[in-house]
Structure 1
Amino acid sequence: MKALRWLLLGGLTPPITVGDAVLTAVRIGTGLSIALGHGWGKVKDPSGIIGVSESLGFPLPTLAGWMAALSEFGGGILLAVGLLTRPAAFLILVTMSVAIYAHAFRWGDPFVQGWELAFLFWMLALQYVVFGAGRFGVDRWLR
């Protein structure tokens, strides 16, 4: 049970530092950027992401499209709030992995103005998979 709680909600935290505030600000900014800047549009009109899923050859493109849309929107909101941060960040990590693959290797987009943003979100999601929400997230209150 302790291992599951640590995996979902995080581990021990050090005394409050400036790093806690910065980690929180970056987490909120990242989560809201993913949710509102990318996920919300896909949730409102999933036809584009479903078409991308079809072009990538996913066996269930409608399901894959909705999973991408919800991982960006719902995962971004959860990340911003700091609730179930590690699982939400993992879903974002998977979605950004597909986006990097599609832009870089499938469509041949250049790094800048192609897959740079997906890579940046991938790196930020990796940070939250490893470190969790930090001191100022809902995960800490639940823990």
Structure 2
Amino acid sequence: MKALLFKAVPEKCNVHELSMFVPRVFFGLTMAFTHGLGKVPPPDMLVGGIESMGLPMPVVFAWLAGLSEFAGGILVALGLLTRPAALFLSITMAVAGFIVHMKDPFNVKEMAFLYLAVFVMFAIRGSGKWSVDYLISRK
């Protein structure tokens, strides 16, 4: 019982790989299809929102946000180019949480911060062994 409660799961164990695989696929696909799909191509509302924040080149930033969420989410789910995709998603979620929803109550920002935390983890840790990145790195 003590080992079950307090002993760390070895990194070479399948349970460890499962604990990386399930959140990677879940967060990647939910980001891509729940948040990103409707932003590619960027709707006028997104471009207008970016323009109202005073950012330069609002059409470019809208495309970057939409592609980050859609293509980045798919890449994270596949475990392909996971670190760069997760880094771009982290930046996008930081902008969403700290700038876009700056004046909103925490319960509105919470989703962006949750995604931010998860994508920062994948940007640092990578995708794990059950990923395309791992298959490529073995060759």
* Cα deviation, residue 45, structure 1: 4.6
Residue by residue, what CA displacement relative to the aligned partner does 1:22-78 show, whole Å, maximum 9, x if unpaired?
210100000001000000011155322212211111110000001000000000000
Higher RCO, Cα 8 Å, sep 6+:
1
Matched, 1:84 2:81: yes
Find the partner of 1:109 among 104, 123, 127: 104
Equivalent-residue separation in structure 2 for 1:111 and 1:91 (angstroms): 23
Find the partner of 1:131 among 125, 130, 136: 125
Matched, 1:94 2:96: no
Equivalent-residue separation in structure 1 for 2:38 and 2:70 (angstroms): 9
Matched, 1:122 2:116: yes
Aligned residue type for 1:22: S
Secondary structure at the aligned position of 2:40 is classed as helix
Equivalent-residue separation in structure 2 for 1:115 and 1:103 (angstroms): 9
Aligned residue type for 2:62: G
Matched, 1:35 2:29: no
User: In the alignment, is the contact (CA less than 8 A) between 1:46 and 1:66 conserved in 2?
Assistant: no
* Unmatched runs of 5 consecutive residues or more in structure 2: 1-10
The answer to which of 69-78 and 53-62 deviates more is 53-62
TM-score (structure 1 length as normaliser): 0.85
Q: What count of residue pairs does the alignment treat as equivalent? A: 128
Structural RMSD (CA):
1.5
Aligned residue type for 2:93: M
Paired position in structure 1 for 2:7: none
User: In the alignment, is the contact (CA less than 8 A) between 2:41 and 2:66 conserved in 1?
Assistant: no
Residue by residue, what CA displacement relative to the aligned partner does 1:54-108 show, whole Å, maximum 9, x if unpaired?
1111110000001000000000000000000000000000100110122442xx1
Paired position in structure 1 for 2:16: 19
* Unmatched runs of 5 consecutive residues or more in structure 1: 1-13
Percent identical among aligned pairs is: 40
Paired position in structure 1 for 2:134: 140
